[in-house]
Amino acid sequence: HAVGGVSMGGYGALHLALAVPTAFRTVAALSPAVWQQVPEAARPRMPAFLRAGQWDQAQWEADAPAKMLTG
Q: What percentage of the chain exceeds 90 in pLDDT?
A: 42
The string of DSSP codes covering 6-51 is: ETHHHHHHHHHHHHSTTT-SEEEEES----SS--GGGGGG-GGGEE
- Local structure of residue 1 (DSSP, 8 states): -
Mean pLDDT of all residues in 51-68 = 85
16 pLDDT exceeds 70?
yes
Where in the chain are the domains? 2-70
Amino acid at 10: G
pLDDT at 71 over 70: no
Flag whether the pTM goes above 0.75. Answer: no
